[in-house]
């Protein structure tokens, strides 16, 4: 057996999971938390640790070159699992999916994990990355107030064109045969793509409450809104959302500026 294969065999749910992410916002770290919470595995989280910020900063510091097994991460979320360190939200989820039973195993469905990844990437494109760009359309590192005019234009296009287009896509996915019944996005059971869709919809609902209410009232996306409620009511997710581990939205990806909500 190759060294890689034998190393892979040692990685299992019993190795410790440690999430490295900025304290104070759900942010992209939330996608990793929801996967771990739904799977019911124990994990530690810098969001709730005294020197949490320091640990994030030391990971992304320009002096960090990684180690023999791991290249350095560029930005959080970062997951440490045993001796491995991974970054990039959908990449971490791709790794966690089969491990936590949140995406199909290649033995059951050879391309299932890539279909789930496709759906998660699409939700992240439309409801996370593009949502972020509405308040920071010009410069990620500059204040919103310095790019407000462009933000107003970007947000109008987002509300009028992009959000309905992405909602329409997920309604189609849920109406399609590959969803196997339309309760969840793929294969008739919950995958991490459903968790990502739930979380990103929750975020855009915080940022654009009026717009999302209108989309809901249009009754064009009933399956998507039903999926949101279904995920929210899952036993472990519900308990997590009601716990102190769930942080409030503030100045992260999802920000509520009433002028951007139309
Ligand atoms: N594509 C990356 C984006 C990571 C990212 O932008 N992380 C934010 C926090 S949510 C950050 O701290 N970025 C610092 C930077 O981009 O300089 C992912 O999905 O994980």
Residue range 128-150, pLDDT digits in tens: 999 999 999 999 999 999 999 99
Stretch (H or E) spanning 200: helix 192-207
Residue ranges matching CATH 3.40.30.10 in the chain: 3-100
pLDDT of 87 > 60? The answer is yes
pLDDT band at 237 (very low <50, low <70, confident <90, very high): very high
Cross-strand partners of 45: 19
pLDDT over 90 for what percent of the chain? 94
Which residue CA neighbors atom 11 of ligand 1 most closely?
A: 75
pLDDT of 3 > 90? The answer is no
Residue 21 CA to ligand 1 center (angstroms) comes to: 10
- Evaluate: CB of 28 within 6 angstroms of ligand 1: yes
Round the CA-based radius of gyration of the chain to a whole number and report it: 19
- Residues constituting the chain: 262
Residue 75 CA to ligand 1 center (angstroms) comes to: 5
Contacts of 117 (CB under 8 A, 6+ apart): 90, 93, 94, 97, 103, 193
Contact between 142 and 187 under an 8 Å Cβ cutoff? The reply is no
Q: Which of 8-17, 118-127, 217-226 has the lowest mean pLDDT?
A: 8-17
pLDDT of 193 > 80? The answer is yes
Cross-strand partners of 20: 78
pLDDT over 70 for what percent of the chain? 95
pLDDT of 167 > 90? The answer is yes
pLDDT of 81 > 50? The answer is yes
Which residue CA neighbors atom 9 of ligand 1 most closely?
A: 76
pLDDT of 35 > 60? The answer is yes
pLDDT band at 85 (very low <50, low <70, confident <90, very high): very high
Residue 5 CA to ligand 1 center (angstroms) comes to: 30
Which residue CA neighbors atom 20 of ligand 1 most closely?
A: 88
In three-state secondary structure terms, 87 is strand
C-alpha span between 30 and 59 (Å, rounded): 18
pLDDT given at position 9:
44
Which residue CA neighbors atom 6 of ligand 1 most closely?
A: 75
Contact between 25 and 255 under an 8 Å Cβ cutoff? The reply is no
- Evaluate: CB of 88 within 6 angstroms of ligand 1: yes
CATH topology of domain 3-100: Glutaredoxin (3.40.30)
Residue 67, Cβ density class (10 Å: 0-12 exposed, 13-18 middle, ≥19 buried): exposed
pLDDT of 25 > 70? The answer is yes
Contact between 18 and 35 under an 8 Å Cβ cutoff? The reply is no
Contact between 135 and 257 under an 8 Å Cβ cutoff? The reply is yes
pLDDT given at position 14:
76
Residue 11 tokens, joined: 């990685």
Q: Which CATH architecture has domain 112-260?
A: Up-down Bundle (1.20)
pLDDT band at 12 (very low <50, low <70, confident <90, very high): low
- Evaluate: CB of 112 within 6 angstroms of ligand 1: no
Strands 43-45 and 78-81 turn out to be: unpaired
In three-state secondary structure terms, 17 is strand
Report the nearest atom of ligand 1 relative to the CA of 141: 17
Q: For the residues 51-77, what does the mean pLDDT come to?
A: 98
How many C-beta atoms surround the C-beta of residue 210 within 10 A? 11
Residue ranges matching CATH 1.20.1050.10 in the chain: 112-260
Residue 28 CA to ligand 1 center (angstroms) comes to: 8
- Evaluate: CB of 52 within 6 angstroms of ligand 1: no
pLDDT higher at 6 or 50? 50
Q: For the residues 169-194, what does the mean pLDDT come to?
A: 98
C-alpha span between 84 and 88 (Å, rounded): 14
Please state, rounded to an integer, the average pLDDT across all residues of the chain. Answer: 95
- Evaluate: CB of 76 within 6 angstroms of ligand 1: yes
pLDDT band at 10 (very low <50, low <70, confident <90, very high): very low
pLDDT given at position 11:
56
């Amino acid at each position: 057996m190759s060294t890689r294969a034998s190393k892979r065999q040692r990685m299992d749910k019993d190795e410790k999971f440690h999430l490295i992410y900025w304290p104070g916002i759900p942010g992209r770290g939330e996608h990793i938390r929801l996967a771990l919470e739904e799977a019911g595995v124990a994990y530690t989280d810098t969001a709730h640790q005294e020197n949490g910020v320091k640990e994030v900063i030391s990971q992304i510091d320009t002096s960090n070159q990684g180690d023999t097994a791991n290249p350095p991460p560029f930005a959080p979320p970062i997951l440490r699992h045993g001796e491995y360190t991974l970054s990039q939200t959908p990449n971490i989820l791709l790794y966690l999916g089969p491990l936590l039973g949140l995406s199909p195993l290649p033995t059951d469905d050879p391309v299932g994990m890539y279909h789930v990844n496709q759906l998660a990437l699409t939700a992240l494109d439309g409801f996370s990355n593009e949502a972020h760009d509405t308040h920071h359309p010009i410069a990620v590192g500059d204040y919103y107030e310095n790019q407000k005019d462009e933000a107003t234009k970007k947000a109008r296009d987002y509300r009028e064109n992009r959000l309905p287009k992405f909602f329409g896509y997920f309604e189609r996915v849920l109406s399609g045969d590959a969803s196997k019944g339309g309760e969840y996005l793929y294969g008739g059971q919950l995958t991490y793509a459903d968790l990502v869709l739930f979380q990103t919809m929750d975020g855009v609902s915080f940022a654009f409450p009026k717009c999302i209410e209108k989309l809901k009232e249009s009754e064009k996306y009933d399956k998507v809104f039903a999926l949101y409620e279904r995920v929210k009511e899952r036993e472990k997710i519900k308990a997590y959302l009601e716990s102190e581990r769930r942080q409030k939205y503030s100045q992260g990806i999802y920000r509520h500026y009433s002028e951007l909500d139309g």
